[in-house]
Chains A and B, each alone.
Chain A
Amino acid sequence: MESGIKSKPRRNVIFIVLISLVLAFVIYYSVMCLLSPGRKLEDLRNAYSTKSSEKNDADKQISRNPDYLKLLKEKAFLQSRIAMAGTDSSYLALNMTDSTANIEICGVVVHKSKMVDLKISKILTETNENAILSLLSAPFTISGSYATIMKEPVIFQMAPKDTSEYKPDVMPDTTLAEPVNYILETKQGIRIYVYQQEQMKPKDRMNQFKFDLNDRLRDTWNSLKRVVEFKVPEYHLFIKIKLPRADAKIIYRALPKNGQIALFN
Chain B
Amino acid sequence: MDNEKIIDEGTQSQTEENAGSKLAVNNANIPPQTVTPGEYDQKRKPFLRFLRFILLFVVSILFLSGMILYIIYGVPAIRESTPRQHKESVISKDLKKDQNYTKLIGPLSKDVQRLTVKFDAYTSGQSYIVINTTDNKFYLYKNKQLVREGSCSTGSYKKLQTASGKTWTFKTPRGKFLIQGKRTHPAWHRPDWSFIEEGVPIPPKDSPLRWEAGVLGDYAMDLGDSYMIHGTIYKRFLGMPVTHGCVRLNDEDLEVVFNTLNVGSKVYIF
Point out residues on A near B: beta carbons under 8 Å: 15, 19, 22-23, 26, 29-30, 33-34, 36-38, 41, 58-62, 64-69, 71-72, 74-75, 78-79, 81-82, 85, 88-90, 103, 105-111, 121-123, 126, 128-129, 152-166, 169, 171-172, 174, 213, 216-217, 219-220, 235, 246, 249-250, 253-254, 256
Contact = CB atoms under 8 A, between A and B. Distances in A.
Nearest to B133: A253
Nearest to B166: A159
Given A58-B98, A78-B116, A246-B135, A156 B70 contact: no
B128 A105 contact: no
Interface stretch (B7-15, B31-39, B194-202, B223-231): B194-202
Interface of A is mostly: helix
B29 interface: no
Given A71-B109, A82-B119, A90-B175, A159 B86 contact: no
Given A154-B159, A156-B159, A253 B119 contact: no
A53 B112 CA distance: 21
Interface stretch (B77-85, B208-216, B245-253, B255-263): B77-85
B101 interface: yes
B118 A106 contact: no
Contacts of B157: 152-155
Nearest to B169: A154
Nearest to B177: A88
B70 A26 contact: yes
Nearest to A130: B87
Contacts of A85: 119, 122
Contact of A110 (B64, B196, B241, B270): B270
Interface string B79-102: 110101011111110010010110
B166 to A, nearest CB: 9
A129 B87 contact: yes
B78 A163 contact: no
B171 interface: yes
A106 B122 contact: yes
Name the 3 nearest CB pairs between A and B, nearest first.
A107-B122, A160-B199, A78-B115
Contacts of B87: 64, 126, 128-129
Contacts of A74: 112
A33 B75 contact: yes
B199 A159 contact: yes
Given A105-B270, A109-B123, A162-B199, A171 B240 contact: yes
B90 A61 contact: yes
Nearest to B82: A34
Contact of B105 (A29, A71, A128): A71
5 contacts: A37-B82, A85-B122, A111-B270, A122-B84, A126-B86
B151 to A, nearest CB: 11
A189 to B, nearest CB: 16
B29 to A, nearest CB: 34
B108 A155 contact: no
